């Protein structure tokens, strides 16, 4: 009798696999004007999870499951995807769209599901006192803006007074986010900032580049995404703007942005908050367990590209947060609320990354209740058009938090006041 009961229980357990997996929704976009960025990220995210399943049998003995939903970078579809996936025990949302992030911030907070917006989204979410469920470690737009300016300072021996810098940005929440930081930094360092907005989807940029040609700025920096990136680089080549003075944010620093321009793009720079290339032990395991087994996501042709690495890194951080959550709560099959605790207690050290086969892939950092934003470090990568690869030309270094922190505090305080929220972490 007892045996029968055991068999029955086992059968029920086996018949209900939905309950015992770790669900990672992937709000991807493989279609539309931004697919060039959406595909590699989604592939990297999915491949890392597949690697964990194939190599380690999931995380802590529980298999992972990717729940993909196509948003097309459209907020309405993003809402539909969120509603469709949240009931399946989705652990963490990574929408890869600032517009969808803004939609989801109040929703995930109400539903107590964490959201990780790595290097995008609402920058002031770095303030964990206000944003309980939103994380944007290890770096955000404002760190990015400061990193660009720091690079300019390095190039000019620490003095960029009177230099002219143009910001070419996507005319949306994403592109507008860094403006305030750039304005503060322009005041601090005395450079002259010109703003050039480019409307969705970004194929029409002639007039902006004409203006750049006329005004001859010393440096151009870009907050672009999707098709806008490659058009901007081509336009810069057309007006013979020196590529080494053209610096993109990390979303403008992918192979898709520079490859169409061919040799002309040689020397183009972009900042990055994680390492580039596929020269890490983990990629060997990826080839063995995932690619050779025919289980790679998408077409499998993106491995090692900049944004693929970013998706891969995002999945790694999510998996590490799951491990932390499992440790805190002593349960293997965690809930979204436990995942949130795991993300808030996440600690990434060099030893952890080396163990994972990703030495020096990203910064070492520790998330706390107050700081959901991580260290905000980054490096500058430069495109080598002859060998068709990115290489780092600087070390990972910090950004100017004396400028950024007051901005984060002010913006998050405004959000808290608008929504009548109490500060956490006391």
Partner 1 sequence: MFYRESGDFSETYPADSQTFPIKFDRYRYYAVLVVAFLIIPFIINDYWANAILVPFLIYAIAAIGLNILVGYCGQVSLGTGGFMAVGAYACYKLMTTFPDVSIMFHILISGGITAAVVTLFGLPSLRIKGFYLAVATLAAQFFLVWLFNRVAWFYNYSASGQINAPDRTVFGHLVTGPNTDAWAKYMICLVFLTFAGIVARNLTRGSLGRKWSAIRDMDIAAEIIGVNPLSAKLSAFAISGFFIGISGALFFSVYLGAVEVGEAFGIQKSFLVLFMIIIGGLGSVFGSFAGAAFMVLLPVLLKNVLVGGLGWDTALAAHLEFVIVGALIIIFLIAEPHGLAQLWRVAKEKLRLWPFPH
- Reply yes or no: is the peptide bond before residue 138 cis, omega within 30 of 0: yes
The SS3 of residue 159 is coil
CB-based burial, 74-92: b 16+ in 10 Å, e otherwise:
bbebbeebbeebbeebbbb
Other CB atoms within a 10 A radius of the CB of residue 235 amount to 19
Q: From residue 391 to residue 420, what is the string marking binding to partner 1 with x (rule CB under 8 A)?
A: ----------------x---x--x---xx-
d(CA 281, CA 31): 32
Query: Tokens representing 104?
Result: 């989801």
Among 37, 47, 51, 70, binds partner 1 (CB under 8 A): 70
Which member of 90, 124, 136, 275 binds partner 1 (CB under 8 A)? 124
| Separation between Cα atoms, residue 115 and residue 104, nearest integer Å | 8
Q: Of residues 172, 275, 326, 382, which one binds partner 1 by CB under 8 A?
A: 172
- Among 50, 117, 123, 272, indicate the residue that binds partner 1 (CB under 8 A): 123
Report d(CA 379, CA 377) in Å as an integer: 7
Work out whether 133 is an interface residue with partner 1 (CB under 8 A).
no
Asked if residue 28 lies in contact with residue 96, where contact means CB atoms within 8 angstroms, the answer is yes
Q: What tokens were used for 296? A: 């790679």
Q: Is 74 in the site for partner 1 (CB under 8 A)?
A: yes
SS3 assignment, position 279: coil
Nearer to partner 1, 87 or 162 (CB): 87
Preceding amide of 159 cis, omega within 30: no
What stretches of 17-90 show up as alpha helix (H) in DSSP? 35-51, 75-86
72 contributes a contact to partner 1 by CB under 8 A? yes
Task: Please report whether residue 372 would count as binding partner 1 according to CB under 8 A.
Answer: no
Q: Find the shortest distance in angstroms from Cβ 220 to partner 1.
A: 21
Can you tell me the distance from the alpha carbon of 328 to that of 342, in angstroms, rounded to the nearest whole number? 7
By CB under 8 A, what part of segment 177-196 binds partner 1? 177, 179-180
Q: Does 171 bind partner 1 (CB under 8 A)?
A: yes
Q: In whole angstroms, what is the distance from residue 90 CA to residue 85 CA? A: 7
Site string for partner 1, 332-361 (x = CB under 8 A): ------------------------------
197 near partner 1 (CB under 8 A): yes
Scanning residues 281 to 300, which ones bind partner 1 (CB under 8 A)?
298
Identity of the residue, 182 or 312, whose beta carbon is nearer to partner 1 in the bound complex:
182
Q: How far is the CB of 31 from partner 1 (least distance, A)?
A: 4
Chain contacts with partner 1 (rule: CB under 8 A) = 28, 30-31, 35, 39, 68-70, 72, 74-76, 79-80, 83-84, 86-87, 98-99, 102-103, 105-107, 109-111, 122-124, 171-174, 176-177, 179-180, 197, 199-200, 298, 407, 411, 414, 418-419
């Amino acid at each position: 009798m007892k045996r029968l009961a055991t068999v029955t229980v086992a059968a029920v357990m086996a018949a209900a696999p939905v309950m015992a997996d770790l669900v990672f929704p992937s709000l991807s976009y493989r279609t539309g004007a931004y697919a060039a960025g959406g595909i590699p990220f989604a592939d990297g995210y999915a491949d890392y999870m597949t690697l964990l399943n194939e190599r380690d049998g999931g995380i802590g003995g529980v298999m992972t499951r990717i729940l993909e939903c196509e948003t097309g970078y459209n907020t309405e579809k993003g809402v539909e995807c969120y509603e469709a996936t949240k009931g399946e025990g989705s652990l963490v949302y990574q929408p890869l769209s600032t517009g969808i992030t803004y939609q989801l911030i109040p929703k995930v907070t109400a539903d107590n599901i964490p959201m990780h917006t790595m290097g995008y989204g609402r920058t002031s979410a770095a303030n964990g006192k206000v944003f309980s469920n939103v994380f944007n470690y290890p770096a955000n737009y404002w760190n990015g803006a400061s990193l660009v300016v720091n690079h300019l300072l390095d190039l000019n021996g620490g003095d960029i007074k009177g230099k002219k810098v143009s910001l070419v940005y996507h005319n949306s929440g994403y592109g507008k986010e860094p403006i305030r930081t750039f304005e503060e930094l322009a005041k601090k360092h005395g450079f002259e900032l010109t703003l050039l907005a480019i409307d969705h989807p970004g194929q029409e940029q002639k007039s902006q580049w004409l203006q750049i040609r006329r005004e001859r700025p010393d440096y151009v920096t870009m907050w672009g995404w999707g098709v806008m990136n490659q058009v901007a680089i081509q336009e810069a080549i057309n007006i013979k703007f020196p590529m080494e003075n053209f610096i993109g944010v990390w979303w403008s620093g992918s192979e898709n942005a520079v490859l169409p321009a061919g040799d002309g793009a040689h020397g183009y720079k972009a900042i990055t908050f994680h390492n580039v290339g596929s020269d890490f032990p983990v990629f060997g395991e990826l080839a063995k367990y995932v690619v050779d087994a025919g289980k790679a996501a998408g077409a499998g042709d993106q491995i090692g590209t900049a944004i693929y690495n970013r998706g891969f890194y995002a999945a790694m951080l999510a998996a590490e947060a799951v491990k932390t959550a499992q440790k805190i709560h002593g349960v293997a099959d965690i809930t979204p609320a436990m995942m949130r605790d795991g993300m808030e207690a996440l600690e990434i050290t060099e030893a952890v990354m080396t163990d994972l086969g990703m030495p020096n892939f990203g910064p070492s950092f520790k998330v706390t209740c107050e700081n959901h934003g991580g260290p905000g470090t980054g490096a500058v990568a430069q495109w080598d058009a002859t060998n068709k690869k990115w290489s780092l030309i600087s070390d990972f270094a910090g950004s100017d938090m004396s400028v950024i922190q007051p901005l984060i505090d002010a913006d998050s305080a405004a959000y808290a006041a608008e929504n009548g929220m109490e500060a956490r972490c006391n």
